[in-house]
A and B are shown apart, each in its own frame.
Chain A
């Protein structure tokens, strides 16, 4: 007991390796400290009669130090295992620390409470799943970004999609819907055979005919060509009749329209934001322009 004051004076004013000062206060990092604050009454080094609770693997132990054993550092701390039950632990503490200063006993009980609460919370958390944060080395991230950019350039996406759509059109999946028939009203001024390219040439009779709602079912996998589709009705027969009527009126307008249409592509590209409008406009224009030509022209001339 007589050394305590000296020890405290030395520690506090000179140097204590357990003391850590931070902005909010002075703390003691000694594992045997009850409150954790660097205080005259809480310093385990400067109090020859002291007690703490420490936790080992989820089991709480009461540690006591008395002045009788101060000269035997090896046996200095007496350890008592505390029961799991909170109330029983409190009783045990009372029993062991019966004649000790009340302040210390109070602090120990507070510590016990806090630690049991922490124990409960830790066990609950361990049952829940937590996300584990994994880090990626920076080199990999950059490498991936670089490769992605190059892959994007290599995949000319717009062209690939357009090609695929045209291929589907050729295969006849959209048969009932668009009237851009191939190989039927083929237009060349000469009468040569159709070549592979010619499949794509035809007239601009895009008539959106109502009524025929043939929803076609198909598997959309492109790579295996697994297409079970039912080709819709051929509406081209109906359309011919319609076109005939239109033609007689507007054959003269054909040449004009043709000229006008040549300048269209230039416009199309610049006015992409009028797409919506175009969608509505298109049919009317297409109906007028009649390249059905070969036969028609012969008739008029």
Chain B
């Protein structure tokens, strides 16, 4: 902190036009001594405390001024001064050149040629094989039964001691479209392996924060209608591919009357899975003049208008996935070609995400 201030100080002294930061403050502090240069601890801490207090007061003053301006503008009926946009990690995400653009020819061509196009174009209906790793866990079976209810047309087979490659062959013979392997570690489901078939990609996800249906308050019970799918925030090419992989697990003709929605929401490379039943309702909102936003036309009368909201009732499990690796062919750790592997050095920047 002291160092930053020092450079700003220098900048302030040299070229005030160049300095991007708030110059007024810097000028004020130019005349004062930096606390870090005082050798006496008591004096130094006193000066530092005073500076902090001063900063706090300044901040409060700014906030008050902003509020007053907004209020004044409202009273006068003008536009309030534009609200400042807070800086979030999503706002300041590192620019990624692989973000999908909406009108990318190459993307559509790729989509046609990739492994999921058969399922997504409804040439094949998805048929899922769910199995586990060799040792099953305490929560594993419960999780698997819930998965069976979430994903339509899915079947569970016990693992036995078959090799995964043999299982892939078996599934190919029986015309499955995907395999999901639930992997267990320390008596908890821990990882999910989604293998597309016949020679589709293999995605290895890390599973965390699993909450079963019985542990959710006020949960609902899902029906057997085909669910709708919501895939949020899969922006990059890799994310798009994963999105299509997930999409190929579900049937492409959702039954809207069933009002079931399954959501895979990607936020900062974590994919959150939720399963809801929804209903649209109209809700009355009382509006009075002071709110002003919705009732620009009515003055002095409080009407109750209605707007449509969607209400959700959660059913089914809730878990989080994080992609560990994506491999081009079916499961083959030694000889396979990996499209994407997570390496620890990718975690060094807090603003960089890959999905």
Q: Does A187 contact B (CB under 8 A)?
A: yes
Roughly how many angstroms separate A151 CA and B305 CA in the complex, as a whole number?
Answer: 35
| Stretch of A24-32, A65-73, A76-84, A141-149 lying at the B interface | A141-149
Report the bound CA distance from A73 to B260 in whole Å. Answer: 82
Is B305 a contact partner of A223 (Cβ separation < 8 A)?
no
* Complex Cα spacing A258 to B240, Å: 47
Does B347 reach chain A (CB closer than 8 Å)?
yes
A265 CA to B281 CA, complexed, in Å: 10
**In the bound complex, do residue A215 and residue B255 qualify as a contact, i.e. CB atoms below 8 Å apart?**
yes
B267 is an interface residue with CB less than 8 A from chain A: yes
- Which residues of A (142-161) have their CB < 8 Å from a CB of B? 143-145, 147-148, 150-152, 154-155, 157-158, 160-161
The interface residues of chain B lying within 8 Å CB-to-CB of A206 are 280-281
Contact of B228 with A220 in the complex, beta carbons under 8 Å: yes
Contact B308 A169 (CB under 8 A): yes
Complex Cα gap A106–B279 (Å): 82
A238 in the interface, Cβ–Cβ < 8 Å? Answer: no
Q: Quick check: A152 and B267 within 8 Å, CB to CB?
A: yes
- Residues 197 to 249 of chain B near chain A (Cβ within 8 Å): 206, 208-209, 218, 220, 228-235, 240, 243-244, 247
Instruction: Check A180/B256 contact, CB under 8 A, given A148-B270, A161-B230.
Output: no
Of the candidates B209, B254, B320, the one whose C-beta lies within 8 Å of that of A220 is B254
How many residues from B make CB contacts under 8 Å with A?
A: 76
A282 to B252, CA, bound (A): 29
Name which of A40-48, A116-124, A268-276 contacts chain B: A268-276
Q: Is the CB of B303 within 8 A of A188?
A: yes
Asked if A128 and B163 sit within 8 Å, CB to CB, the answer is yes
A59–B301 CA distance with the chains assembled, in angstroms: 99
The answer for the CA separation of A129 and B165 in the assembled complex, in Å, is 10
With A187-B305, A220-B230, A224-B100 as given contacts, are A154 and B268 in contact (CB-CB < 8 Å)?
yes
Q: Verify A223–B267 contact, CB threshold 8 A.
A: no
Please tell me if A204 contacts chain B, counting CB pairs below 8 Å: yes
Q: A219–B293 Cα gap in the complex (Å)?
A: 35
Q: How far is the CB of A287 from chain B (nearest CB, A)?
A: 13
Is A221's CB within 8 Å of the partner chain B? yes
Contacts of B297 in A (CB 8 A): 188, 190, 192
Among A9-17, A91-99, A170-178, the stretch that binds chain B is A170-178
- Taking a contact as CB atoms under 8 Å apart, the answer to whether A265 and B306 are in contact is no
B58 at the interface (CB under 8 A from A): no
Contact B265 A203 (CB under 8 A): no
B263: CB under 8 A from chain A? yes
Given contacts A161-B263, A180-B280, A215-B255, contact A262 B235 (CB under 8 A): no
In the complex, A142→B261 CA distance in Å? 32
A244 an interface residue at 8 Å Cβ cutoff? no
Contact stretch, chosen from A50-58, A194-202, A246-254: A194-202
A256: interface (CB < 8 Å): no
Most chain B CB neighbours (cut-off 10 Å) among A131, A218, A265, A275: A275
Complex alpha-carbon distance, A180 and B102, angstroms: 30
- Asked if A217 CB lies within 8 Å of chain B CBs, one says yes
Contact B102 A225 (CB under 8 A): yes
In this assembly, does B89 line the interface, its C-beta being within 8 Å of a C-beta of chain A? yes
Given B254, B279, B308, which contacts A200 in the complex, CB threshold below 8 Å? B308
> Given the interface contacts A140-B344, A189-B303, does A147 sit within 8 Å of B283 by beta carbon?
no
Once bound together, how far apart are the Cα atoms of A129 and B168, in whole Å? Answer: 15
Q: Give the distance to chain A from B269, nearest Cβ to Cβ, in Å.
A: 8
B304 within 8 A of A: yes
Chain A residues near B308 (CB, 8 Å)? 166, 169, 180, 200-202
Contacting residues, chain B, for A213 (C-beta < 8 A) = 257
Query: B305-340: which residues lie under 8 A (CB-CB) from chain A?
Result: 305-313, 320, 322
Residues B267 and A129 in contact, CB atoms below 8 Å apart? no
A279 within 8 Å of B by Cβ?
Answer: yes
Q: Let me know if A222 is at the binding interface, CB within 8 A.
A: yes
Produce 1/0 per residue, B117-142, CB < 8 A to A. Answer: 00010100000000001100000000
CA distance A147 to B313 in the complex (A): 26
Within the assembled complex, what's the spacing in Å between the Cα atoms of A265 and B312?
A: 15
Choose among A128, A220, A276 the residue with the greatest number of B CB atoms under 10 Å from its CB.
A220
B306 to A: closest C-beta gap in Å: 5
Q: Are B218 and A148 in contact (CB under 8 A)?
A: no
Residues of B within 8 A of A (CB): 88-90, 100, 102, 107, 120, 122, 133-134, 163-164, 206, 208-209, 218, 220, 228-235, 240, 243-244, 247, 250, 252-257, 261, 263, 265, 267-270, 272, 274, 276-284, 286, 293-294, 296-298, 301, 303-313, 320, 322, 344, 347
Closest 8 CB pairs of A and B: A155-B267, A220-B229, A192-B297, A151-B268, A200-B307, A204-B282, A162-B310, A165-B310
**6 A–B contacts, CB within 8 A, in A order:** A161-B263, A166-B308, A169-B280, A189-B303, A219-B247, A282-B281
